[in-house]
Amino acid sequence: MLDFGVFRATDEAIRIPQGAATMEMIPSVRLDETFSCLANGYRRQILLAVLLGPTEGIDWMVRDLNGSRKHPQQLRTELYHIHLPKLDTAGYIYWNRETWALERGPRFHEIEPMLQLLLDNTDQLPSD
């Protein structure tokens, strides 16, 4: 039987079950934020683009992220008011609101292993 210890939704961290490879603490608040940022396809694509290097301008985002699913102005609005602020606030990217330039933020290193895992296994994952 696995012993999960005491778990409450308000805890800062949860314990890994007995018998797991490690008994370190997982910071659940940050992990929740990471998964929240990765939960949206646009944000995943933005983070993967930043993983490969700094980006410039809005044109590539509207062209590469949209896939003809949304009106370009609607996507620009969502990027400006929802997706880019969320990633910037989380510290995963630096976003220049004037030029739309993106680069790695101060906490990018925390999400980088998950992004690399996604990138390395794209052929085995369901598509968006």
User: Domain coordinates of the chain in residue numbers?
Assistant: 41-121
The CATH code belonging to domain 41-121 is: 1.10.10
Instruction: Specify the pLDDT at position 23.
Output: 40
pTM over 0.85: no
Instruction: Specify the pLDDT at position 59.
Output: 80
What does residue 102 show for φ and ψ, rounded to 5 degrees? -125, 140
**109: amino acid identity, one letter:** H
Question: Rg of the chain's alpha carbons, rounded to an integer?
Answer: 17
The one-digit pLDDT tens for each residue of the chain (128 residues) are 344 444 444 445 555 555 554 445 556 778 889 999 999 988 998 999 999 988 888 787 787 776 667 788 888 899 999 999 999 999 999 999 999 999 999 999 999 999 999 888 888 877 76
